[in-house]
Amino acid sequence: MSNWLERDRAAIWHPFTPLKGMTEPEMLERAEGVNLYTKEGKKILDVISSWWVNLHGHSHPYLAKALADQARQLEHVIFAGFTHEPAIRLAERLLEILPDNQSRIFYSDNGSTAVEVGIKMAFQYFHNQGIERKKIIAIDGSYHGDTFGAMSVGDRGPFTTPFDPYLFEVDFIDFPEPEKEEEVWSHFQQLIGTGEVAAFIFEPLVQGASGMRFYSADLLDKMIGLAQSQHVLCIADEVMTGFGRLGTLFAADQLENKPDIMCLSKGLTGGSLPMGVTSCTDAIQAAYRTNDLMKTFFHGHSFTGNPMICAVANASMDLLLTEECTANRERINQRHQAFLKEIQDHPMVRNCRQIGTIMAFDLNTEKDTSYFNEARHHLYPYFIEKGLLLRPLGNVIYLIPPYIISDEELDYVYSTISDFLNEYDQIASH
């Protein structure tokens, strides 16, 4: 056993990783562009953007320079009682590209905490006005993070079972699959009609961790419209979908009715450093603008608004808003569409789907389509051996690559997946 592996085992507890029976981790030495390089010199193409965060490729020199320049000027300061140019500039620029109804930016440190902020912001909005609204609606199968509030509004299952007694009550509606839309709409209307709901939280258009499940923009628009007509706050968790993943900068750009609160993270800094943002309308903040100290939003993090992270986020936005980046996202979109047409009739493929830079399909295995489908234990090491970082969600194979991925690199990804499907088909047929 390698010395580094012994040291890793002795000191580190990796996330989402059983302590026995899993493939050993790869020891990385560096990364550049879409590629990761191991200590042994192996090249691994990062086709999932390292948990969906990397937009512009690894070790991007423009982002690195922004970080280094800011580190020499102001590395960190408490964000209560102080402010600085990188945070102000980032907030202004975010508000320029977010839906017009978004008015204020609250900084935190990751996607889960951005959601926590959004939930607390919504509940206290009613509390500050003396209005009794204690319920929240969420969509079954959702994933909003691993802190307790985020777990409460997420799917109840094996991930949350040890904590279920401690999670607050949530009204879940079924995932709105096409054949269930009318039923879901009816249930949603019933819940909204009680007058007890404070907020409706959702991953807009795509549920990520539950298997890249897509649903109707028209139905979501209708639900937001009804909720807002009854003064229910709508919270869009755009942690995964934000910053161009669905083609438009935000999923909300594809909706007529805009959310009241938006939660952002992942691509915010181009994947270089952790950061969360929760934006809200002016009407929400107005409930906090008072001399009554007890109506203050008592929430914060030690590294809220960190100057270095803000500087990198600003640099990432410089790259995101270029014509080149827009063209790259459209190129990936078209390439994904073409590849799915090639494999959609393959006997090992079902439920092909694609939006923007996200492409997914189900491997035609046993009926279990959960995260714990046995297929994932074979898929991950297979593709790592071929030099691809794919982290299947159960039997769901998906791509969500950095925007700089080249056509040649995409060709290798597609051909490797095709080879796998053909090999798998031969094995399954014997």
309 lies in the same domain as 373: no
Give the domain range for residue 312: 63-320
pLDDT digits (tens, 9 = 90+) for 65-95: 999 999 999 999 999 999 999 999 999 999 9
Give the per-residue pLDDT at 99. Answer: 98
**What is the distance between the alpha carbons of residues 351 and 354, in angstroms, rounded to a whole number?**
10
23 lies in the same domain as 116: no
Q: What is the DSSP letter of 25?
A: P
Give the end of a domain, one of 303, 320, 337: 320
Average pLDDT, the chain: 95
- 223: Cβ–Cβ under 8 A, 6 or more apart, which residues? 185, 188, 200, 202
Question: pTM, whole model, 2 decimals?
Answer: 0.96
Per cent of the chain over pLDDT 90 is: 90
Give the end of a domain, one of 264, 293, 320: 320
CA proximity to 267, closest of 235, 245, 237: 245
112 lies in the same domain as 69: yes
**The residue type at 313:** A
- 264: Cβ–Cβ under 8 A, 6 or more apart, which residues? 94, 111, 114, 238, 239, 242, 243, 276, 277, 278, 279
Domain CATH number, residue 10: 3.90.1150.10
Are the C-beta atoms of 53 and 266 separated by less than 8 Å? yes
Q: Which helix (H) or strand (E) holds 223?
A: helix 217-229
146 lies in the same domain as 225: yes
138 lies in the same domain as 180: yes
Are the C-beta atoms of 284 and 260 separated by less than 8 Å? yes
First to last CA, the chain: 36
Q: Please count the structural domains in the chain.
A: 2
Give the end of a domain, one of 320, 335, 352: 320
263 lies in the same domain as 410: no
298 lies in the same domain as 392: no
Helices (H), 266-355: 282-286, 307-320, 323-343
**What is the distance between the alpha carbons of residues 307 and 213, in angstroms, rounded to a whole number?**
36
Residue 327 CB neighbours (<10 A)? 11
71 lies in the same domain as 206: yes
- 172: Cβ–Cβ under 8 A, 6 or more apart, which residues? 137, 138, 139, 140, 156
Write out residues in the chain with pLDDT < 50, as ranges.
Answer: none
Give the per-residue pLDDT at 370. Answer: 54
Q: What is the DSSP letter of 162?
A: G
Give the per-residue pLDDT at 426. Answer: 74
Give the per-residue pLDDT at 241. Answer: 98
**What is the distance between the alpha carbons of residues 409 and 48, in angstroms, rounded to a whole number?**
13
**What is the distance between the alpha carbons of residues 93 and 410, in angstroms, rounded to a whole number?**
32
356 lies in the same domain as 292: no
313 lies in the same domain as 421: no
Domain CATH number, residue 151: 3.40.640.10
364 lies in the same domain as 216: no
pLDDT digits (tens, 9 = 90+) for 226-274: 999 999 999 999 999 999 999 999 999 999 999 999 999 999 999 999 9
37 lies in the same domain as 155: no
